[in-house]
Structures are given as structure tokens and as C-alpha cells.
Structure 1
Amino acid sequence: MTTKAQPHLQNAGVLREMTPGLFLCAVIAATAFSISHLRFLSAVSPALLAVVLGIAFRALLGEPAIAQPGVRISMRQLLRIAVVLLGLRVTFAQIQTMGLSALMVLAATVVATLAFSFWMSKLCRVEWRLGMLLGSGTAICGASAIVAASSTLTARHEDIAYGLAAVTIAGSLSMVLYPILGILLELDPHRYGLWVGASLHEVAQVVVAGYQLGPEAGETATVAKLVRVLALAPTVAVLGYLAQRRLRGGPDQPARVQLIPWFVAGFAVMVVLGSVIAFPDWLLSGIQSLVSFLMAMALAAIGIETDLGRLAGKGMAPLLFSALLTIFIAVFSLALILLFI
């Protein structure tokens, strides 16, 4: 009898050990969502707010020892689960609506931006992990790409926090400027929407900037952005491979690498499921809300684990690097659209 009860007792003990940290991250995430509804913070994502609140909590109160196990789980496992569920947002039907020329523009923009970030991080003397985080966030989907890439890059907590802040600032400024530039450049709704979807960072920023110039522009921008999210899986896999090669000392010291992390494979599976199964809108909406909350919990945990002194020590170079990436992706994607669309 005692032997049979032991696994249950162990599970209960693990759950009790995790609860304080999970509860702390959930409270911070809920607070971030509440604050994001304030009018003057409507352009700031709950993910970034969760990081800031987590950093503030650590700076003021430290990290309670009792919360550490749950914080670790939030930072690692909940983050991966959120990335998996993110795959349900993209379907093959959305890809088909874009057309071959638009798909080529999106693919070329992602690849060129990642390559540019890799090259420029050396010239700007930005540490390679942080450079790749900023490149992923700019090229693909902002915070989601940064947190997904951070797992395979074994990035430091302060790198993730800095990357989120830099990409959010650049994307928010772009969100305001794009409608103005679209009018000045006399872009038609389709071209403008494609430009927004191909180059702005966060989905929310794309929706806001796209619909500023009408429903056709908004719909095109949103679909283009969601299709761009598909680059998340191959990008994370490649970055993970490059990171492990770098850590092992290069190609002359081969290492056993996990080309496709389980959560990236799960993301791809969700894309397929969402494409072949007609899930009801209410379920997809609920899953999207869950993804956003899990992401906020994970980022709250990252904030709690972030040393504010090390974060400040990064200086202005990565922020300027992020601005350079934002300018590059905007100019490069617009040039392709004007030439081929």
C-alpha cells in the first residue's frame, strides 16, 4: 500500500513546490494584461509589461526561494507550450491567398533580415546571442520569436528582456509612422497591407497599422503577418544548430544536435492540424487568449530572473542595432514590393 501511494505523494509534493512560483507569475501576468488596457499603454504588449513588472518585483523584493521552482517551470515549459499553440494561428489556406509573388517577398524579407542581423551584429559589436534575438524578433514576429529563439540560443535573461524592450519600441514607433508613409508614398491598399505584414514586428502592431488605411489593407497585412509567422519553426531550428556548433567550438568538433526542438515540431504539427481541421472560432479565440497569458507568465518569470544591473550594462548599442534592423526590413521589403507586386 505504501509503495503504491508514493508516486501520488511525490506528485502532490511537486505540485505544492511549484504552486507559489506559478501563482506569482500568474498574478504578474494578470496585472500586465490589466495595465495594457489603459489608454496610454494600449500600444504596449502585455508580454513586455510582464517582463517589466517581473524585473521591478525582483528589484524591490528579490526572488523568494519558495517561488523559484514555479518560476523555472513558467520560464521554460509554459513558454514552450505557448509556442506550440501559436501554430494554430496559421493555416495553409492563408498561405494560398497570398499568391506566389507575395510569398516570395515575405520569404526573401525574413531571410535577408536574419542574414543582415548576423552580419551587422559583428560590425556593431553586439553579442551574438542578443543580435540573433533581435534579428529573430524583427524578421518574424516580435516577442514570440524572441522567446522561442531564446530557448535554443541558451540566451541570458537580461538578453531576452533587452530584446523584448528594443523590438517593442522599434515596432511601436513604426506602427505610428507606417500609415503616414503609406499615404506619402501613395501605396494602394494591397501593397501597403503587404508592406505592413512583411515588416512590422508584432501582430497587434500590424493590425493597428494595417487597418488605418482601410479594411483591404488591414486584411492583407494580417494574413501576410500570420504567414510570416511560419518562418518561426525553421529559424529556431537553424539558430539552435548554429548555437550548438558555436558552443562546441565549430565544425571541426562535431556535436550531436537537436535540429528540431520538440516545441518547434509541435508548432509545425499545430499548423497542419489547424489547416485540416475546421476548429470553431470560439475555440481558436480561447486558445489564442491562453497563448497570450502563458506567454505573459513565461515573460514574468524571465523578468523575475533578470538582474537589473546586468540589463543596464548592455548600453545603447543593442537599441541602436534594433533600430537599424527595423529600417532595413522596412526598406528592403518595400523595395521588393514596388519591384515585383
Structure 2
Amino acid sequence: MKNYGVLRTNGFFIALALTLVCALAGNYFGGLPYLSLIGALVISLILGMLFQVFQRPIEASREGIGFISNKFLRLGIILLGFKLNLIDLASAGVKTILLAVVVVAGTVSMTYFIARKFGVEKELAILSAGGTGICGAAAVMGISPQIKVAESKLTRQRENEVMAVAVVAILGTVFTLIEIGIKPLLHLTPTQFGVMTGASLHEIAHAVAAGSSGGPISLDTAIITKLSRVLMLAPAALVIGGWYQRTTPVKEGELKQKLPIPWFMAGFILASVLGTFLPLGNATLGFLVKTAYLFLGMAMAALGMSVNFRVILQRGRNVFLAAFISSVILLMFTIVVSKTFF
């Protein structure tokens, strides 16, 4: 028993070291000009998948990897709340908040509906819809704990998480380049272009990359619009979790899951309140947000270390197509709305 305890402890520290390396590398490479379109979180996930070549340390640290992908994820999302300045969001006006509500509700519902029509399983459809409609990888990982599956399905659910993250990462990058490319054809003002990019693109990094191509006004507007969608993550996770439990039949011999309450989402909102109203200073807020991305990067790396990407390639086509169609419709909708109302 003593040796087993030592192995468990050593496994946790091995997992901690491996995921930390991936997260730090992801933050570094994610800051480079061309790789910034992909983003630090997705790079950390890819590095975690590549680390599967080191089979012995991965197997020895399997329990630690599971702990990090679960607990560090929640801690990272809580700290990410410090990125949301509620005063800035309020100053953006009712139109921006209303647009965020419509985009999140409409895109999540539409993506889920299309994915199910294409035969995508319920859990994967929910995760890809959340990532497409809200804020990319962070939304996928924030919603996933609300999808309570049987223990026998945990491995498949982790594959679903990676697939959903991969879908929003690829599509977000593609649509960032598309929006930058069609900008001269749309004849939008800087504010309108910022609204379009912030309301349509998947990750914060994508909105920043595209918005910056329109100048400082466009960039600021893109960030505010995108953060308005990020603010929807907490209520969306609660609604989706409750809806999933009500609409998922219980198999014989299984107990009905309790309605999931995302307490870490309450921490996310509390962090945004503290960051808005306490005089923490830009340096402190910046440090907390960087720490958030470090923890999220470690969680993403841990996720990458525990999936079978051969299965992901086999199952990913239909969900990718569904999210692509939804993203095209979302882009057209935001072009019309930005031209008409902003």
C-alpha cells in the first residue's frame, strides 16, 4: 500500500510537470504572430496529444492527468472571470448585450439541431454547439462538466471534448482569415467591423486577430462584443446542464443524476465582479488572467494526453460540417445586424 501511495504521488507530479510544460509552451507559441490565430489553449491540447509518444510516464501519471483535466479546468475558468470588466460591458450598451444573447442562444440551438440531423451523438453536438456559439475551447470545457455521463462513457466523452475543441479551433482560424479577406468588400465602419468579428468568431484570440485588422476602434469593439458572449457562458452552462438531465432517459439500473449546479461558474461571475469593482490594478488583473490561461492550458494538455485521436478523425466529419454550416449562417447574420443597427 505504501508503494502504491508513492506511485500515485509521483504520478501526480509527473502529470503536473508534463502539463505545465505543454501549457507554458502553448502560451509562448500562442503569442507568435501566425500561431496566435490558433491560440494558446489549442496549442497546449495538441502538445498534450503529441506527448502520448511517451507511453510509460503517461501511463504512470494517468490518475494525475485526470485530476488536472478536471480540477485545474474549473480553477482556470474561475480566474478567467477577471478578464470581464462589467462596467465596460455595460457601457457597450443594450444593443451589444442583446446581440450577444441572440447570437449565443441562436447559434447554440442551430448548431445542435444541424449536428443532430447529421447523426452526431447528443453529447458531442452539445459541446460543439457551445464552442461555436459562445467562446470556443473555454466554452467546450466549461459546458462539459454539466454533461453527466455514465462512468463507462467517460473515455468517449473526453474524445467528444477534444473533437469539439478541434472543430472550433479549425473553423475559428478559417473564418478569421475569411473575415479579414472580405473586409474591403463589406464597406463596414470600424465599429461595424468590430461588432461583426466579435459576434461571429469563435475564440477571443480570433476576434482580436480579425478586429485588429480594422484598427484600434474595431479592435476595442470586437473585444467588448466577444466578451459579451463570454459573459453568457455561466447561464448557458446552467441551462444546458438542466436541459440535458431532463431530456436524457435513464437506463435500467442507473440512478437519475442530480441537476448539475456549476459552482465554478459562480466563481467565474464573482471573479468578474471583484475584477471590476476592486482596485486591483492592471498588472494584477493581467497576472490573474495569465494564470487562468496557464491552468486552462494544463487542463487542455491533460485532455490531449488521454484521448485516442484515431477515433476523433473517424467521428469528426459530420460535427465539423454542422459547425461549418452554422458558422456561415452566423457570419451572414452578424454582417446584416452590424450594418443595420451599429
TM-score (norm 2): 0.89
Q: Mean alpha-carbon deviation: is it higher for 241-250 or for 123-132?
A: 241-250
Match for 2:178: what amino acid? L
Q: Specify the alignment match of 2:237 in structure 1.
A: 236
Moved more, 280-289 or 57-66: 57-66
Deviation at 1:210, TM superposition (A): 0.7
Whether contact under 8 Å (1:63, 1:304) holds in the other structure is no
Report the Cα distance in structure 1 between the residues aligned to 2:86 and 2:175, rounded to whole angstroms. 28
Confirm or deny: 8 A CA contact 1:82 1:291 kept in the other structure.
Answer: yes
On the 8 A contact 1:152/1:240 being kept in 2, the answer is: yes
Query: Unpaired segments of 5 or more residues in structure 1?
Result: 1-10
Superposition deviation, residue 63 in structure 1: 5.9
Counterparts of 1:106 and 1:32, CA distance in 2? 29
Identical positions, percent: 26
Q: Does 1:42 align with 2:43?
A: no
Q: Indicate the residue corresponding to 2:58 in structure 1.
A: 64
Q: CA deviation at 1:316?
A: 1.5
Is the contact between residue 75 and residue 301 of structure 1 (CA under 8 Å) also seen in structure 2? yes
User: Is structure 2 residue 107 aligned with structure 1 residue 129?
Assistant: no
Matches within 5 A, 1:211-290: 211-249=212-250, 255=256, 257-290=258-291
Deviation at 1:128, TM superposition (A): 1.6
- Once the two structures are superposed, what CA deviation does each residue of 1:52-99 show, in whole Å capped at 9, x if it has no partner? 222222255266333122211110000000111111111221122211
Shift of residue 126, structure 1, vs aligned partner:
1.4
Q: Which runs of 4+ in 1 moved over 4 A?
A: 11-17, 37-40, 253-256
Shift of 1:207: 1.1
8 Å contact kept, 2:188–2:339: no
Q: Distance in 2 between matches of 1:36 and 1:43?
A: 8
Structure-1 separation of matches of 2:207 and 2:74 = 24
CA contact 1:24–1:67 (8 Å) conserved in 2: no
SS at 1:171 equivalent: helix
Partner of 1:292: 293
User: Which position in structure 2 is the counterpart of 1:30?
Assistant: 24
Mean CA deviation greater in 75-84 or 92-101: 92-101
Equivalent position of 1:182 in the other structure? 183
Identify which range, 319-328 or 152-161, moves more after superposition.
152-161
Residues 277 and 30 of structure 1: CA distance in aligned 2, closer, same or farther (over 3 Å): same
Q: Which runs of 5+ in 2 are unaligned?
A: 149-155
User: How many Å apart are 1:14 and its aligned residue?
Assistant: 7.0
Q: Could you tell me whether the CA contact under 8 Å between 2:14 and 2:57 is conserved in 1?
A: no
Determine the structure 1 residue equivalent to 2:14.
20
Is the partner of 1:213 in helix, strand or coil?
coil
